[in-house]
Amino acid sequence: MSSEDMITYFNQLERETKALKEEVLRMCWYMRGGLTYNSAMMLSSTDREIISKLIKENLETAKKSGMPFF
């Protein structure tokens, strides 16, 4: 692997790490302490995907019903 390829690879890893942290922190915020950062980081990608989907569905329901979500 060339130096340029390594730099590209590590930059990609950095972007993926940042995206994962943002996703986990967003879930923790929406869960209001029901899910800690450490616990969220231990979730599988499938579990995180399911939780994110549930959050999105609940946000949409709150918008449609006019009920407060926050």
Between 21 and 63, the more confident residue is 21
> So what's the pLDDT on residue 11?
97
Task: Check: pTM over 0.75? Answer yes or no.
Answer: yes
Asked whether the predicted pLDDT for residue 4 surpasses 90, the reply is yes
55 SS3 class: helix
In angstroms, the CA 66 to CA 48 distance is 27
